[in-house]
Amino acid sequence: MKNDVIKGLDLDGRQDCYYDFSYGNVISNETDYVAIPSVVGGVDVRGIGSSYTYEIDCDNSLWFRGKVVIIPFGVEWINDGLFDGGTGEQNVVALPNTVKRIGHWAFKSCNGLSIVVPESCYRIDDGAFLGARDVNVPKSVSEIGYRSFNFPPEFEDGGYYEMDGDFMVRGSEVCQYFGKSEEVRLPEGYKVVEDNLFRDYSGKKVEIPDSYREIGHNAFLRAKISEILMSPRIDLIHGHAFWGAEVKEVKFEEGLRAIYEGAFGRSGIEDIYLPSSLSILDENAFFDLRKTCTIHCASEMVRQLVQSKITDGHGINVVLE
């Protein structure tokens, strides 16, 4: 089926583009224009760039040459890495109002791309428009992955997502930071530092206001931050929140209830202050710390809880304060 589908670009009599087997490119005879066929080998094309049945299958990426690419009506998904590794020449990609999902890194290489996401779309995966500078997102999109954009997109009013200053937000969640400042204060009124928000971030200070309750998965993964001013109302630290982070000190106030798997794993944190309210602690929360760390416990019960969960105590001091 795979080879028949690929060959279908020629077998169906298309004259405006063909598949170059030696380089893995879909190449247009008109160098500025590529139109993907809607029917290949007698089968309707529903997706582009992967190995599922009823798709144009090109093993890895479709490397288009041409500044304008037309995707036919009926295509429902644009798969992972469709333009990643390509020429990056695309200025316009026309997506039909049938596309439901845009895959990981799909338009990563299209640095000059201007694109309107259709109203049929509900999901944009990690890094989908990482290179694009001008992306319009409709209110139908309810799921956006990690670093889907390098530049703030234009959101339609009334949708799930919007911009609040330099932050992309969704409901009570702060999802992505587009600013470049070394000192960041999160916007007021939200409750969740969403997954991956400060992943790989490097700066001097991050301030989390009092309204925030949760630190999401990978929120500070591998971050290098001199100081974090934590909300006194934080009650949940999700898995790998500070994994690999370089932060000298993190202090949590009364109200913190749970710290989950790998939250501080392989981090370089030197001092962690835990309140007496802590009752749930994953046994891998402090896995393989890179520096000598002192865990300051506000009660004997918490000290015992921490001590019971540390499987590798090398470089960890647990003290009652």
Are 216 and 236 in contact by the 8 Å Cβ rule? The answer is no
pTM given for the model: 0.83
User: What are the tens digits of pLDDT across the range 26-40?
Assistant: 444 444 556 666 776
Torsion of CA 260, 104, 186, 259, to 10 degrees: 0
Average pLDDT over residues 183-194: 98
Of 298, 295, 275, 278, nearest to 286 by C-alpha is 295
* pLDDT number for residue 25: 42
pLDDT of residue 133: 81
> So what's the pLDDT on residue 16?
45
Q: Could you report the per-residue pLDDT of 234-288, keeping only the tens digit for each? A: 999 999 999 999 999 999 999 999 999 999 999 999 999 999 999 999 989 998 8
- Residue 53's pLDDT band (cuts 50, 70, 90): very low
Distance CA 57, CA 189 (A): 46
Fill in the DSSP letter of residue 71.
P
Q: pLDDT band at 51, cuts 50/70/90?
A: very low
Instruction: Give the Cα separation of 282 and 311 in Å (integer).
Output: 11
CA max distance for the chain: 78
Rounded (10°) CA dihedral 121, 124, 125, 129: 130
Distance of CA 97 to the CA centre of its chain: 24
Instruction: Give pLDDT, residue 68.
Output: 66
Instruction: Report the pLDDT averaged over residues 159-169.
Output: 97
What's the CA gap between 91 and 111, in Å, rounded? 8
Given a cut of 90, whether residue 301 has pLDDT beyond it is: yes
More confident residue, 66 or 144: 144
Which tokens is 316 given? 């960890």
Cβ atoms of 275 and 297 within 8 Å: the answer is: no
Burial of 42 (0-12, 13-18, 19+ CB in 10 A): exposed
Bridge partners (DSSP) of residue 135 are: 115
Q: What is the mean pLDDT of residues 185-204?
A: 97
Helix (H) or strand (E) holding 169: strand 167-170
Res 22 pLDDT > 70: no
The full set of domains in the chain, from first to last, is: 1-159 (3.80.10), 160-321 (3.80.10.10)
